[in-house]
Amino acid sequence: MVYSALMTPSIHQKIQSKWGINPLNRIRFARMNFVFPQFLWALSALSIPIIIHLFNFRKTTRIYFSNTRLLKQVKEETTQKRKLKKYLVLASRLLFLLFLVLAFAQPFLPASEQMTSGKNMVIYLDNSYSMSAQVEDKVRALDAGVGFAKEIVNLFPDDTRYKFITNDFAPFSNTFKSKTEVEDLLAQTRLSPISRTFNEVTRRMGEPMGNDIFWISDFQKSTFGNEDSAIDSANQWHMIPIVFNQSANVFVDTVFLDNPFSIGGEKNAIKLRLKNTGAAKKEGLITKLSINGIQSATAAIDIEPNSVAETSFDLTSGLSGLNEAAITFSDFPVSFDNEFFLALNFSAKIRVVEIREKATSNSVQRVYGNNSLFTFKSFDASNVDYSMLAQADLVVVNGVNKLDGGLSASLGSRGDHVQLLLISGNSPDVLSYQALLGRASLSKIDSTELTELDRPDFLNPFFANVFEEKSISLAMPRASKVLDWGNDPSAILKFKNGQPFLSRDGNVFIMACPLEKEFTDFYNQAIFVPVMYRIAASSRRDENMTYYHTSESLISLRADSLIGEEPVKLIGQQEIVPTQRKLNDQLIMEIPKFAINPGFYRAIFQRDTLDLFAFNLDKTESSLDQYTEEQIMELLGNGNNVSLFQASSVEAFSNAIKERYLGTPLWKYAIVLALCFLLAEVLLIRFLK
């Protein structure tokens, strides 16, 4: 279908019924054509000025002079000028009539692509948060994309059907819609936290059906995907890249606790890394930390171009319970990622189970008897409730000389999330220890000589934030080595000779002697409590994540106290009842991808709050780097069925798509030229004497 830029579908129908021509068939690819060629018969009017010029009907008047010698010369000069004037006026009149007739015939340059009626088309509009960036005319990329889609819908005939798809994959995208329905959907389109790859969208479109597909997107490198393959040739692909005015953006690159083994009340800090993707330096970016809605700290950060800057916020000492921490800053105009959420959960108690010989000292009970931090249970080695082992965070085998088969099997199957602290007995059975730990190098040493331990390695992550001052005058305990397992350069505590006293192997800690007066004074030294606390805290490192991404589908929490079939709900900005299953003492919840908005959510069972979760957007959406036009074509295989629109604004896109499907109308130029030659005629008559 080819008609002028001013023609509406109703005018097209009138033309077809009145003049008997169908603009759908007026397509010529080799030369200029006319929408109304019948008007060209009016070119016969060009003969009128010629006839007037050839036949001068004015009656001559004869004038007698006594002497004509001087008048003859004047007459000859005047006749030459009059002939030139007549020719110029004649040319102006002819050209005026010519271009006036052409304007009514509406000439155009044929379109490069043919438009047919009754087609099905697919329009994909990227409405991810990155589309909040500005384009050249200072509007949001999403608003420009909506304008492009409206131009497409208005261009094609009314009987065209459209499948309209956004990143939300809403139910309306399952079927083809009419023009009016698509216009209503475009008016309701909003930014979405969901980002989609090229493959995800093409799968949503369904099987190829010979459709025209218009793809309106910012073509982000981080989310579009690196397809590097030719797309299906059954469809015609029309790529419409929206180019940002600038790709500069500041966003949160990483957030983590300085002390990942933190227990409520311990000293801690939040480490923050901000990334600047712009070409200009960000100076004095004010960043704020709020905890439970109250501003806790601020920092001014300078970030070099295309680099990362780091800062930290000290947490309030004595912080306990479930805490909502939010990091905010102001970075205009891309602001969707200017807030980051963290869940600081210090309320859950650490469950410690002790298995000991009857005569063993109660030093372990004293350190883990703090009811505000720990739930402590102690059993004799001969009377252990094995069901408690799988529910514990830390199992302490304290001074048990021989581990029987049942106890060893239960400890071996306790689960990876349960930490084990094995404190040697005064006369350990090495074979039973080897069966539990799988260490063939274990051996017993008969020695009661007390040797001073070396001061701890303050660079060891185990001791992070334990000591305010790294003093070399720290009083160290003495101990005798009863159990030996060879060299361990990474031991937590060592003797002066470099032999290990306390080592870690995965989720197992081993101590070289019993906590008894004859073998050590470790339990009476200042370093004892922080070391034991840190061992207990390490059991919670992988359980309480400070934040999740909205793209993640699995989260878990402790569920040993859940009774009945009532589901756990996530309540925050929205209420979600996710699919969930209980596995031992863990409740695993499955959240459909992108079904949850960024923010804080509390896990509620009946009326009890079990845990607090924080969700944030994936940082890939914050990286605004775009594929160039050449890269887009290369990614899609440079096929003949792929075309690209270059448009910086809605107006430019409107002109480009009309030129491609309607041709280039020339009637405006014809009118301008007709008026110019009419003006030229007036000026010639008026001023050329």
Mean pLDDT of the chain: 83
In a domain, 264, yes or no: yes
Q: Are 80 and 124 in the same domain?
A: no
Per-residue pLDDT tens digits for 574-612 = 899 999 988 766 788 998 777 788 999 999 998 888 889
Q: Can you tell me the mean pLDDT for 442-461?
A: 86
Q: Is the model more confident about 9 or about 250?
A: 250
Write down the pLDDT at residue 45: 82
User: Domain boundary residue among 85, 111, 137?
Assistant: 111
- Is the domain of 267 the same as that of 397? no
Angle at 233 between CA 231 and CA 236, to 5 degrees: 95
How far apart CA 99 and CA 569 sit, in angstroms, is: 74
Considering the domain architecture, whether residues 211 and 238 belong to the same structural domain is answered as yes
Contact criterion met (CB below 8 Å) for 135 and 242: yes
The length of the chain is: 689
Using CA atoms in the order 390, 395, 400, 401, what is the torsion angle rounded to 10 degrees?
80
Q: pLDDT tens across 283-330, in order?
A: 999 999 999 999 999 999 999 999 999 999 988 766 778 899 999 999
**What band does 349 get if pLDDT is binned at 50, 70 and 90?**
confident
Give the lowest-confidence range in 150-164, 256-270, 446-460, 589-603. Answer: 256-270
Comparing 1-5, 80-84, 312-316, the range with the smallest average pLDDT is: 1-5
Q: Is residue 675 part of a domain?
A: no
The region of weakest confidence among 172-181, 224-233, 355-364, 425-434 is 224-233
Give the CATH number, domain containing residue 474. Answer: 3.40.50.880
* SS3 state at 364: helix
Answer yes or no: is pLDDT of 16 > 70. Answer: no
More confident residue, 637 or 220: 220
Average of per-residue pLDDT across 503-512: 92
If asked whether residues 354 and 268 sit together in one domain, one would say: no
User: 187 and 126, same structural domain?
Assistant: yes
Q: Per DSSP, what are the bridge partners of residue 123?
A: 164, 214
In this predicted structure, what is the pLDDT of residue 408? Answer: 87
pLDDT average, residue stretch 29-35? 63
Q: What is the CATH number of the domain that holds 604?
A: 2.60.40
- Tell me if 102 is assigned to some domain: yes
Q: Please give the pLDDT value at position 230.
A: 56
Domain containing 636: what range?
Answer: 120-246+626-661
Same domain, 298 and 357: no
Based on the fold, state whether residues 467 and 587 are members of the same structural domain: no
Q: Is the residue at 174 inside a domain?
A: yes
Q: Are residues 578 and 559 in the same domain?
A: yes
Does residue 674 lie within any of the structural domains? Answer: no
1 within some domain: no
Tell me how many domains the chain contains: 5
Whether residue 130 is contained in a domain is answered as yes
Confidence of residue 53 (pLDDT cuts 50, 70, 90): confident
- Percent of the chain that is helix, strand, coil (3-state, to 5): 30, 25, 45
Task: Centre a 10 Å sphere on the Cβ of residue 639 and count the other Cβ atoms it contains.
Answer: 14
483 in the same domain as 446 = yes
The answer on pLDDT for 19 being more than 50 is no
Give the C-alpha separation, 376 to 1, whole Å: 82
Task: Place 187 in a pLDDT band, splitting at 50, 70 and 90.
Answer: very high
Lowest mean per-residue pLDDT among 10-14, 472-476, 480-484, 490-494: 10-14
Q: pLDDT (tens digit, 9 = 90+) per residue, 110-163?
A: 766 665 555 789 999 999 999 999 888 788 999 999 999 999 998 888 888 999
User: Is 324 found in the same domain as 398?
Assistant: no
Let me know whether 186 and 86 are in one domain: no
Task: Express each pLDDT in 399-434 by its tens digit.
Answer: 999 998 888 888 888 776 788 999 999 899 999 998
The pLDDT assigned to 137 comes to 74
pLDDT of residue 286: 95
Q: 179-187 and 141-155 are packed helices; what angle lies between their axes, rounded to 10 degrees?
A: 170
Q: According to the per-residue pLDDT averaged within each range, which of 4-13, 72-81, 102-111, 605-614 is highest?
A: 605-614
pLDDT of residue 141: 92
- Same domain for 272 and 284, yes or no, is yes
CATH assignment of the domain containing 133: 3.40.50.410
Q: Is 516 exposed, middle or buried (0-12, 13-18, 19+ CB in 10 A)?
A: middle
Q: What is the pLDDT of residues 513-544, one digit of tens each?
A: 999 999 999 999 989 988 998 898 877 654 56
Looking at 338, 370, 392, the residue that finishes a domain is: 338
Domain boundary among 514, 540, 566: 540
pLDDT at 334: 87
Q: 35 forms bridges with which residues in the sheet? A: none
Q: What is the pLDDT of residue 391?
A: 79
pLDDT given at position 20 = 39
